[in-house]
Amino acid sequence: MKFSFTGRHMEIGKALTSRAEEVCVTLAEKYGDEFIDVSIVMKKETYLFQCDISAKTKNGSAYHVTNESDDPTASFLGTIQKLDQQMRKKKKMSCRSSCKSRSVEFNEYDNSLAGEKDAPMIIAEILEDLPLLSVSDASRKLDENKGVFIFENISNNAVNVVYKRCDGNIGWIDYKIRGWYII
């Protein structure tokens, strides 16, 4: 991650710089992303401190937030709070757009776990259109938040699944070959 924290008409201490870098890494991990470039500029104008953060992520998102306060630390924390709100909103919007492409049916009659205390509801998701992809392209589309991606394999036209394994690798299930592979 390329990280810079500069001050205009003031000097930025090492403690605030290291804290800012730590907070940015934590924030990116919270939303399952990674910052490529973060630029923080703190300006002092008369009695106010203005903090600007510009950030770019690996997912292609770009953020720019600004906050003013009479205290430099409060200005920075307010800006981080606004960045957190923008990232949360962007993640909610991407979840909503991915859910619109699927039809979801609720079937409570077939739920054998329904009698158990705190049993999760079983939800059937019907995929209307499977993308035609190679295994490597499908593994790139695998979203860490979902953990599973279903696609039609371009090489044999079979329904395949790639998924995130517990050991950090990507698993691949090819139903025609009936084998399990680790990429």
Q: Is 109 exposed, middle or buried (0-12, 13-18, 19+ CB in 10 A)?
A: exposed
Q: Tell me, yes or no, whether 29 and 82 share the same domain.
A: yes
Q: Tell me, yes or no, whether 132 and 80 share the same domain.
A: no
In this predicted structure, the answer to whether residue 52 has a pLDDT above a threshold of 90 is yes
Band of residue 50 on the pLDDT scale cut at 50, 70, 90: very high
CATH of the domain at 157: 3.30.505.50
What pLDDT score was predicted for residue 165?
A: 83
Query: Of 84, 99, 114, which closes a domain?
Result: 99
Give the count of domains, the chain: 2
How far is residue 11's CA from residue 81's CA, in Å, rounded to a whole number?
A: 23
Residue 106 resides in a domain: no
pLDDT tens digits along 148-179: 888 888 887 788 888 888 777 888 888 765 55
- Helix residue ranges per DSSP H, 31-171: 72-100, 135-141
Residue 60 resides in a domain: yes
How far is residue 30's CA from residue 7's CA, in Å, rounded to a whole number?
A: 27
Report the percentage of the chain scoring pLDDT > 70: 75
What pLDDT score was predicted for residue 65?
A: 92
Band of residue 109 on the pLDDT scale cut at 50, 70, 90: very low
Q: Tell me, yes or no, whether 19 and 93 share the same domain.
A: yes
Question: In this structure, are residues 133 and 154 in contact, taking their beta carbons and an 8 Å threshold?
Answer: yes
In this predicted structure, the answer to whether residue 119 has a pLDDT above a threshold of 70 is no
Task: Give the pLDDT mean for 49-71.
Answer: 89
Question: In this structure, are residues 49 and 71 in contact, taking their beta carbons and an 8 Å threshold?
Answer: yes
CATH of the domain at 88: 3.30.160.100
Q: Where in the sequence is the domain holding 158, given as residue range(s)?
A: 124-182
Better-predicted residue by pLDDT, 34 or 96: 34
Q: Tell me, yes or no, whether 14 and 93 share the same domain.
A: yes
H or E segment at 48?
A: strand 48-57
In this predicted structure, the answer to whether residue 23 has a pLDDT above a threshold of 50 is yes
pLDDT tens digits along 27-36: 888 887 888 8
Q: Tell me, yes or no, whether 6 and 95 share the same domain.
A: yes
Task: Give the pLDDT mean for 42-56.
Answer: 90
